[in-house]
Structure 1
Amino acid sequence: MNARIVSFATVLDIVVLVGLGLGLIFAPLTLIWAFDDGFSTDLLMSWAAAVDIWFLGHGVPLSFTVPPDLADALSLGALSRDFTVDVALLGIGLLTLLWGFRMGRRESTAVYPLLVWTLAVGTLVLLSLALVVFMPQQVVSMPVIDALVRPALFLASGLAVAAWVGPHSSGKSLLQSALPGSLADILRAGFTAGSAAVAGVVSFAALSVAVLLIVSFATVITIFESLQPGVMGSIALAVAQLAILPTLIVWAATWIVGPGFTLGTGALVSPLGTNLQIVPALPVLGIVPTDPPTFAFAVLALPVLAAFILGVAVGPRVVDRGGLAGNRADIGFLSQPLVKLAATAGVAGAVSAGFGGLLASLTSGSLGPGRFQLVGPDPAAVMLWWGLEVALGVLMGSIAAVQNRSGQRAGR
């Protein structure tokens, strides 16, 4: 396999990725410019808006400075003329992450890992720099460092995940060779259980959002019709809602875990209680229930149940066939079966807390002026709830699995 061909393919891949992400946003904005505005406005402003949205999709905060005359027309107070929007539209960032994962699974990446990683991340940083430098002057600004780093982090995360997927992945091989066997087993089992627990809850949250969209379809349509967006505006609104849909799924996951999320100052949505006020005029937000369902408290058991099942799966990998019973005076404290299972549960809890906190950080922050300066889940609360639930579930499941295996062997 030729290194030059791999280099060219990698650079081309990143160019296509950026072009695809920007094109999905710029296309509906161009239709609005052509059909709704009648070519009367500057198309470069639509391009600048597409670039801003693309960066926001990767978690880059956007700072808005509204001119005084426009602020007065929108009835914004003097303190609301300058505000920040930093709630990530994760649909765009998810595209970059999955693109990086696809690149990481290629055979060329296994042959030239350093070359592919360096070129992929470096090319994306350079393209991000070009977008920032050549962006038209507008009312929106962003931190240059964030604009360069955050899209690259999404891509690098996809490449990193690809390095850990599969029984013979390079990441697992490196971990196995660098650490003692028992410690590597604990870390691998804990990471598997923690990440799978997060994936399970997020998957259930995605299913729940789909069901809510069906059940609340009439409410969503009512909000949509009240906006009167027109044909081209409807297309743009549909693209925007698709971009924010993964963000809503993360919010639903934090609701399932327990702490829930806010839709503005004083508007809390959680299984423990809901206090909704005025919500942003986005049709898809019509799925948010005004009151928690009667089974809300039972939902809190789902993360623990998922972790319990995963504990049953990973527990026997950590403890040998001797199980928890028997004379263990001949081995050290850190090699005791129960200590190993507790360490595995601790790693799983830490991993789930880390992933949960990261998702909460990306999907929380400011969504506009006034009371919408506080939107989304609280990362610290999400980390605490998710970490404790997963650690408890994995510990109970792994102990139950090891005890059950020991009982079966004793019965023979």
Structure 2
Amino acid sequence: MNRRLTFLVAAFEAALAAAIGIGIVLAPLTVIWLIENDPSIDWLVAFRTSADLWLLAHGTRLVVPASTFAGAELPLYIVSLIPLGYTALIAFMAFRIGRRLTAASELWPGISAVVTVYGAVSLFVSTAAADPAIYPVNWQGTFFPPTLFAFFAILGGLFGRRSPLAEGLPEPFERRWLRSWWLTQYDRMHWALRALLVPALRTGTAIVATLFTISAAAVGLLLAVNWIQVIRLYEALQVSFLGGTAVTVGQLALLPNLIIYGVGWLLGPGFQIGAGSLISPIGTAVGPLPSIPLIAVLPIGQLELGMMVLVIPVTTAFIITVLAKKFSDEIRFEFASSLNAALAVAFSVAAVVSIEVLALAVLASGSAGPGRLEIVGLNPVSVAAAAFIITVLAAFLGAFFSAKPESPDNPIGKRG
């Protein structure tokens, strides 16, 4: 594709992705508005709600001014809790667009189109969604969506597998330049950093992904066990079938957040659903909780095993570090002693795990309402610190099996 065609194709796909992103919420709300229509409610309410949620999924904060509700005075508060399920869908669409751009000789015309079109949609949506009752922070609503969408489109274009349409065509200039630049930088790295970089990233990411999977399995199991309580909470909402469907879609958007909270629970510090609450392996202290069915999966109550749950992340980190032996050839060659290799592996893997857990905790946490609900989620620093301590101990032991030098080398000569 030439530059003009690349720009036009990317512009169309960005507009389509924005329409799908907004429409996935607007469509069911429109159906509800049509079938269960209250003459006093305008369709624009459904549109503004969809727009607000779309902006929230991109990280835009929503401001709710001080008001009176059911005779109670509510102060101004900000909603910042990102529905990560919704965000993941948007990121996936952006990544796919980036992959399809690999059929072009250059990526920059397509990325420029993505930023232009998505930015224009964001400006329109953030302006149209403004309402005295709730409104987005305007500059965030304008700049956050195109920034996030372009970020994942660039990732897809630079690192994604090439589109089948690109078979037999030369790679885009940007991919070739990045590969050349990275190989040059990799060759210039200190021998220890070069030996540790790939194994640490692979092992640390595998540990986080496994903990995420274990947490997801636990959430699914708790939903299956507590299905009666889930049904009772649905009944307590007193909504119609369409209303219940809308509630379910909203909970699916928040499900990744809950799974990340589960990772914090497995690591020990636990998480909060409201200020002053704590849900952890040691026990649970909660106040009034919102009446949504997903609350039924919370592990509320005193656990007999308590902190024995830490065996799960410790074992996970140990096993994955041992299994990383096939990625540790350079470590076994470069390091002269088992102790030095084990320490280097343990601290590098633990650093990767703690950074990734910290990022997930920041993304999954935020404010969901007034008062005590202004604090929902994880304490990023506490969870990252727990992840580092657990991983460094387990990876240190596992590295004696996976990174033990097979034939001692003289790394001092390599430092020059």
Preserved CA contact (<8 Å) 2:269 2:383: yes
Give the secondary-structure state (helix, strand or coil) at the position aligned to 1:100: helix
- How far is the alpha carbon of 1:224 from its aligned partner? 0.7
- How far is the alpha carbon of 1:272 from its aligned partner? 2.2
Q: Distance in 1 between matches of 2:147 and 2:196?
A: 27
Q: Distance in 2 between matches of 1:341 and 1:173?
A: 32
- Pick the aligned partner of 2:125 from 123, 131, 135: 131
Q: Is 1:115 aligned to 2:97, yes or no?
A: no
Q: Distance in 1 between matches of 2:206 and 2:99?
A: 20
Q: Is 1:353 aligned to 2:349, yes or no?
A: no
Q: Distance in 2 between matches of 1:354 and 1:28?
A: 38
Q: Is 1:291 aligned to 2:314, yes or no?
A: no
Q: Deviations over 1:97-146 (max 9, x none)?
A: 22222233336267423333333234322321121123353311222232
Give the secondary-structure state (helix, strand or coil) at the position aligned to 1:278: coil
- Pick the aligned partner of 2:80 from 80, 86, 105: 86
Q: Distance in 1 between matches of 2:392 and 2:227?
A: 37
- How far is the alpha carbon of 1:188 from its aligned partner? 2.3
AA aligned to 2:95 is F
Distance 1:376 1:184, change over 3 A: same
Residue matched to 1:177: 184
- How far is the alpha carbon of 1:41 from its aligned partner? 1.6
- How far is the alpha carbon of 1:405 from its aligned partner? 5.5
- How far is the alpha carbon of 1:190 from its aligned partner? 1.7
- Pick the aligned partner of 1:232 from 233, 242, 250: 242
Residue matched to 1:410: none
AA aligned to 1:91 is G
Q: Distance in 2 between matches of 1:7 and 1:132?
A: 24
AA aligned to 1:394 is A
Q: Distance in 1 between matches of 2:196 and 2:334?
A: 17
Give the secondary-structure state (helix, strand or coil) at the position aligned to 2:404: helix
- Pick the aligned partner of 2:145 from 144, 151, 159: 151
| Greater alpha carbon shift after TM alignment, 115-124 vs 371-380 | 115-124
Q: Distance in 2 between matches of 1:123 and 1:186?
A: 41
Residue matched to 1:13: 13
Give the secondary-structure state (helix, strand or coil) at the position aligned to 1:88: coil
Residue matched to 2:64: 64
Residue matched to 1:318: 330
- How far is the alpha carbon of 1:205 from its aligned partner? 1.3
| Equivalences, count | 390
Preserved CA contact (<8 Å) 2:195 2:330: yes
Preserved CA contact (<8 Å) 1:324 1:402: no
Distance 1:319 1:190, change over 3 A: same
Residue matched to 1:329: none
AA aligned to 2:98 is G
Q: Deviations over 1:308-335 (max 9, x none)?
A: 233231562332447645xxxxxxxxxx
- Pick the aligned partner of 2:198 from 188, 192, 208: 188
Residue matched to 1:387: 388
- How far is the alpha carbon of 1:193 from its aligned partner? 1.9
AA aligned to 2:402 is A
Q: Distance in 2 between matches of 1:134 and 1:172?
A: 43
Distance 1:14 1:389, change over 3 A: farther
Q: Percent identity?
A: 28
Preserved CA contact (<8 Å) 1:93 1:154: no
Preserved CA contact (<8 Å) 1:259 1:270: yes
- How far is the alpha carbon of 1:87 from its aligned partner? 0.9
AA aligned to 1:370 is G
Q: Is 1:241 aligned to 2:248, yes or no?
A: no
Residue matched to 1:302: 312
Distance 1:136 1:148, change over 3 A: closer
Preserved CA contact (<8 Å) 1:58 1:88: yes
Preserved CA contact (<8 Å) 2:261 2:377: yes
Q: Deviations over 1:46-103 (max 9, x none)?
A: 10111001111223221112544xx2x2x423xx231111111111111112222223
| Greater alpha carbon shift after TM alignment, 31-40 vs 107-116 | 107-116
Over the aligned positions, Cα root-mean-square deviation in angstroms equals 2.9
Q: Deviations over 1:356-378 (max 9, x none)?
A: 12221122222111221211111
The normalised TM-score by structure 2 is 0.84
AA aligned to 1:15 is A
AA aligned to 1:207 is A
Q: Distance in 2 between matches of 1:119 and 1:404?
A: 51
Give the secondary-structure state (helix, strand or coil) at the position aligned to 2:279: strand
AA aligned to 2:127 is V
- How far is the alpha carbon of 1:243 from its aligned partner? 1.1
| Greater alpha carbon shift after TM alignment, 210-219 vs 120-129 | 120-129
Q: Distance in 1 between matches of 2:218 and 2:146?
A: 31
The normalised TM-score by structure 1 is 0.85
Q: Is 1:140 aligned to 2:141, yes or no?
A: no
Preserved CA contact (<8 Å) 1:96 1:151: no
Q: Deviations over 1:157-197 (max 9, x none)?
A: 5346544567x987666433213363334222222222222
Residue matched to 2:414: none
Residue matched to 2:378: 377
Distance 1:142 1:250, change over 3 A: same
AA aligned to 1:115 is P
Residue matched to 2:369: 368
Q: Deviations over 1:1-26 (max 9, x none)?
A: 33322222212222121111111111
Q: Distance in 2 between matches of 1:341 and 1:151?
A: 43
Give the secondary-structure state (helix, strand or coil) at the position aligned to 2:304: coil
Preserved CA contact (<8 Å) 1:33 1:39: no
Give the secondary-structure state (helix, strand or coil) at the position aligned to 1:319: helix
- Pick the aligned partner of 2:278 from 252, 262, 268: 268
